Chain A
Amino acid sequence: MIVLNVNGTKRQVDAAPGNPLLWVLRDNLGITSVKYTCGIAECGMCTVLIDGQARRSCVVNVEDVLESEITTIEGLPENHPVKVAWIEKQVPQCGYCQPGIMLQTVDFLSREPNPTEEQINNEMDHMICRCGTHPRIKKAIQMAAEMTAKQGG
């Protein structure tokens, strides 16, 4: 048995230490908002926050995050600026990639609270959205940044 700290709750898991975090979250803990798509850290859809940093859970061994706080999209409050902005800008189409992109955004805005368009482009160039919601993702990131600034961080 190993113990993971997911969204503020300690969860016991019967999984091998070398298993990818992605599959432990999905298979063992039933947290299916973390998406499998490529399995090689290429698409970004399995992104979670590990101690606040966006990481691709398909290439993170579970044994390496036993001491860490793991946050999935369920771990963000419903009124989190990123969630509010994603609804306000009507971002998702199929929606499958969005939890990963939103969590990447949370990490990004913690590093760049007031990003330029170029910084958004660079950050998001490593995420795949097959539906093509990019124009709205960009607007939502800008809106979330503004909301966060108004809320005083």
Chain B
Amino acid sequence: MNTHMTRRDFLKKSSLVVAAAALPGKLNIFNASLVLAHAGTSFKPHAFLEIATDDTITVWMGQTNLGQGTHTGIPMIIADELDAPWEKIQVRMALAAEPFKSPVWHVQVTGGSSSIRHRWDMLREVGAAARGMLVETASEKWGIPPKKCVTKEGKVIHPDGRSLTYGQLAKAAGKRPVPENPPLKSPKDYRIIGTQRNRLDIPDKVMGKTVYGIDFTLPGMCIAVVARPPRYGAVSRSYNAEAAMAVKGVIKVVPLENRIAVCAETTYAAMQGRNALEIKWSDGSHPDLNDDTLDALYKAHLEKSGAVAQKSGDVKKALAGAAQTIEQSYKLPYISHAQAEPINCTAHVEKERCRLWIPTQAQTATQLTASKLTGLPVEKVEVMTTPAGGGFGLRGEQDPVEDSVLLSKTLNRPVKVIQSREDEFANDCFRPASQCRIKAGLDKGGRLVAWSHKVAAPSVMSRKMPQYVKNNIDSDAVSGIRDMPYSLPNLLVNYVMVNLPITVGWWRSVGYSVNVFTVESFMDEMAHAAGKDPIQFRLDHMKKGSRPYNILSLLAEKGGWGSPVSKGRARGVAVTSCFESFAAHMAEVSVSKKGKITVHKMVCALDCGTAVYPDAIRAQAEAGVVMGLSVAFYEKVSFANGGVKTANYDDYPILTMSEVPDIEVHIARNNLKAGGIGEPVFPSVAPAVANAVFRATGIRLRELPFKRELLIRG
């Protein structure tokens, strides 16, 4: 990928340039060709699509490449509507810019499984609009009505068989207005969407050519490692700058607000220098904070009434009148993103501009942060997004941006900030821990009549987007409960906000990563109490023919729910409805007498609307199972003495090859709006396993990660 492509290069090359701007409530596709032809104009739109006279077609990306496949999936959508030959498609990462903002959220961000979900119409319209302009150009040339022309493989074809390539037409097409409401293809005419393609970024990744943020380098650049407090609220009492400076290659020690940076010629020197600082930190604001005190604190919070996040019907009355009620508590830990590539950012602050190279998931936030720190207007902040070695929600955080910008200003040269792995764990913005209590009632017929669910958890929103926290309710903290895919006549959801110094952040599937485990486990408990089959019980509480109903039915069919299992094995299921998609998992497990759970097979059924890029969807679904099992079996961040105790991967095991089961993925076929993928494929994994374990052993696991000792029998 050419990360040094500038607007100027872009301007020289392009002939037909179609851009899109998503204004609130309105989608604008405009012809940027003419604007770009007028050098000196201050209006510098970034394109979605550029067709050059040599027939190359460039799709400019605003979404971060985290390996999720959108850098192939997005071009597939545009190319299909354009009727472009797939081999002519090039993909380039664009600088952060207005046209790449989400039409829904109005910020440029790669998260919430939104890359295609938010742009399903926009991307198709961009391709269709460009196609329309090319067709009109050809038809005018030939003196025939546009509708007599057809397009195929990058050509407009005359009824008599003559044809002009898109490249031949591009220059003239660039002078035309953009057609309004260009007709979109009928799904039956798709020839790229829904087909097998090789991911365009894979060859470079396999050859070792991909330049991630951590690999990025500039002439004159130095590297900084920043020491942050190891305990919440701790301040530096003393440190040895001389010792750090004595390390060969160290250039400067720069104290920043409550953190100390060591800048060096090499990464290793910066790390050695940072270790040499021997900083004496104070005890911090919460010296008693540890795993035990946290557990007790969450429990105490569960005794509070909290804020009413959702209320329908009269839960109290319905529970009082129920034939049978059950109450249980569940517990989930803080978990880490533990993404492979450490957090990093390269900044070069100059008088007139600030440039950043960063594997960020949040381009707009990055621009705003740098603008604020440099005093430069946002349009003078150039953010080039590098490929990212994983992210899972962490890469929207602004610490590396702040550090690199401040240090580049101080040193007056480009600075790349890198975190060590220990810094990663100590400063991660964790998926919040959560405890909850659920009470539900069944009528005589075994139907759910009421569900009361109280959650005690920290609020990510309060830190990231406090304006959206109203009446002490963080909607993310209760997602998956108030929008569970079941119709319940009486539902009460209470939220008790837990305020702690532990930094919490967005993590794959956000609130659903917590609450789908508790809802789907408890749903299983209720099915058992009702004496019903777990799938039938769920279906009985869904609208027949609805998407969750259908996906669970598909899972039952494909997973062979009714068929016999091998001796000693059992199956369990769970279902998720989130990010405009519907996923369900069926786990087949056995449990040894010593409590070891083996997951033999996992079947995933997914309805994500139009399946744009099926192989990438399958890859995400496989990955969702692996991460789901990792979280179910192992992942938990520990705290001690007022700070994070977990230091590295040896303290934070991640599931590896031998525990990855056979995974089957079944994608529902339909032509609906494309929904999310990366997040919906995760939440129902852990509860499917817990529910299978219950059917195998009669023992209910109500805590993550699973406690093996609970399963020791005989």
Contacts and interface: CB of A to CB of B under 8 A. Distances in A.
B619 A90 contact: yes
A151 interface: no
B615 interface: yes
Nearest to A96: B389
Given A37-B340, A94-B388, A95-B389, A32 B625 contact: no
B217 interface: yes
Interface in A27-69: 27-28, 30, 32-33, 35-40, 42-43, 45
B657 A127 contact: yes
Contacts of B654: 128, 130
Interface in B334-352: 338-342
B268 interface: yes
A108 B348 CA distance: 43
A99 B204 CA distance: 11
B356 interface: no
B205 A95 contact: yes
Nearest to B265: A27
B68 interface: yes
A27 B268 contact: yes
Contact of B626 (A30, A35, A39, A134): A134
Chain B: interface size category = 35 or more
Interface in B626-669: 626-627, 630, 648-650, 654, 656-658, 660, 663
Contacts of A136: 619, 622
Nearest to B68: A93
B338 A130 contact: yes
A132 B627 contact: yes
Nearest to B205: A95
Contact of B211 (A32, A36, A124): A32
Given A38-B648, A74-B208, A95-B389, A133 B268 contact: no
Main secondary structure of the interface of A (DSSP, over half): loop
A33 B389 CA distance: 12
A35 B663 CA distance: 29
B680 to A, nearest CB: 15
A12 interface: no
Interface string B190-209: 00000000110111011111
A87 B203 contact: yes
Interface in B204-248: 205-212, 214-215, 217, 248
B657 A86 contact: no
Contacts of B203: 87
Given A23-B268, A74-B207, A132-B625, A137 B657 contact: yes
A122 B657 CA distance: 8
Nearest to B199: A90
Contacts of A98: 205-206
Nearest to B198: A90
B202 A35 contact: no
Contacts of B414: none
B624 interface: yes
Contacts of B340: 35, 37, 43, 45, 94, 96-97, 128-131
B420 interface: yes
Interface string B474-500: 000000000000000000000000000
B623 A131 contact: yes
A39 B475 CA distance: 38
A95 B623 CA distance: 13
Given A74-B207, A74-B208, A87-B206, A125 B658 contact: yes
B206 A102 contact: yes
B205 A130 contact: no
B139 to A, nearest CB: 40
A16 interface: yes
Interface in A96-133: 96-99, 102, 120-133
| The 3 A-B residue pairs with the shortest CB-CB distance in the complex, in nearest-first order | A132-B626, A33-B208, A96-B389
Given A91-B206, A92-B202, A130-B392, 20 more contacts: A32-B215, A40-B421, A42-B648, A73-B206, A90-B619, A93-B66, A93-B68, A93-B69, A94-B390, A95-B387, A96-B340, A97-B340, A99-B208, A124-B657, A125-B658, A130-B338, A131-B340, A132-B623, A132-B626, A133-B619
Interface of B: 66-69, 198-199, 201-203, 205-212, 214-215, 217, 248, 266-269, 338-342, 387-392, 420-421, 615, 619, 622-627, 630, 648-650, 654, 656-658, 660, 663
Interface of A: 16, 19-20, 23, 26-28, 30, 32-33, 35-40, 42-43, 45, 72-74, 78, 83, 86-87, 90-99, 102, 120-138
